[in-house]
Amino acid sequence: MQIIEPASQMQSLALSLRREGKIIGFVPTMGYLHEGHLSLMRIAREKCDMLVVSIFVNPTQFGPAEDFSQYPRGFERDSALCQRENVDIIFAPSAQEMYPDGYATYVEVTGKMTDVLCGYFRPGHFRGVATVVAKLFDIVQPHIAIFGQKDGQQLAVIRKMVADLNMPVEIIGAPTVREDDGLAMSSRNKYLTEEERKVAPAIYNSLLLASKMIEDGVRDTETIIAAMREFLDSFDMFRIQYIEIVDAETLECKRQIAGKVMIALAVFLGKTRLIDNIVIAL
């Protein structure tokens, strides 16, 4: 396994691998890897000759009041986990390498897709995500790239960017990996106190409640959202940022359940912001 820091070195290698006809698979991460990340690597591993994982805590996707500096890091452990998953190359650039002084170029998916859900509460977040993913794709030159459904809006935004900008990359969405009690895996779970961790599975349970209501024939999204809200409020621990039901592809708000919808929410549990979602196709 190679560990590469300079973008130019990663890019030259990627371009020469492509000339040799090698299929490059790519899993971009912010490190502090968990089973969710490893599942993405396993999916990519099956589909490519060369598996590249990037580890980069991207400053441009954090707001000024957000947790960039506290975001958990641990390169040694991450590197060992990648090795175990037969990763070929870790690309781990510095922030200075990715955003040198005078950096000025941004990629933005405009409009409603980034105005809703997390985009509404984290202005600039998806501009940072789109920009870093565009840069990483140019550097790593992947044929396929894997993103978790856990960050459902991110996945939709990246699919849109790739389609709009004609990027020659196949985007694969991978199922959310959960703890035994249903909590979606996230590097941020580490922030939770013991008490918070105990109640955290209620987030997923609120999604299961919604799923059950739909199964039982409820179609009005306001009714479903109200029930989820009531359920979460009953714990007296969650501050709900949003609960929304949107079209899974366009992210347009739905008043009625129809087609493929994403039920998504963001809550604060103490100081920690957690997100989760499920996709339901009727």
Please list the active-site residues. 37
User: Which residue has tokens 């490893």?
Assistant: 38
Q: Which residues within the stretch 111-130 sit at the binding site for a second copy (CB under 8 A)? A: 111, 113, 130
Angle, helices 7-19/125-140, rounded to nearest 10 degrees: 50
Residue 38 has φ and ψ, to the nearest 5°, of -65, -35
Asked if residue 248 lies in contact with residue 156, where contact means CB atoms within 8 angstroms, the answer is yes
164 binding a second copy? (CB under 8 A): yes
Which lies closer to a second copy via its Cβ, residue 21 or residue 217? 21
Structure tokens at 246: 């949107």
β-strand pairing of 170-174 with 238-247 = unpaired
Asked if residue 265 lies in contact with residue 207, where contact means CB atoms within 8 angstroms, the answer is yes
Binding range to a second copy, per CB under 8 A, among 55-63, 165-173, 224-232, 262-270:
165-173
Which lies closer to a second copy via its Cβ, residue 21 or residue 64? 21
217 binding a second copy? (CB under 8 A): no
Distances (CA, A) of 58 to 23, 223, 270: 26, 38, 24
Residue 5 has φ and ψ, to the nearest 5°, of -105, -45
60 binding a second copy? (CB under 8 A): no
Structure tokens at 70: 């506290």
Binding range to a second copy, per CB under 8 A, among 59-67, 99-107, 179-187, 233-241:
99-107
Residue 153 Cβ vs a second copy, minimum distance, rounded to whole Å: 14
96 binding a second copy? (CB under 8 A): no
Binding mask 231-250 for a second copy (x = CB under 8 A): -------------------x
165 binding a second copy? (CB under 8 A): yes
Binding site for a second copy (CB under 8 A): 7, 11, 15, 18-19, 21, 102-111, 113, 130-131, 134-135, 138-139, 141, 160-161, 164-168, 250
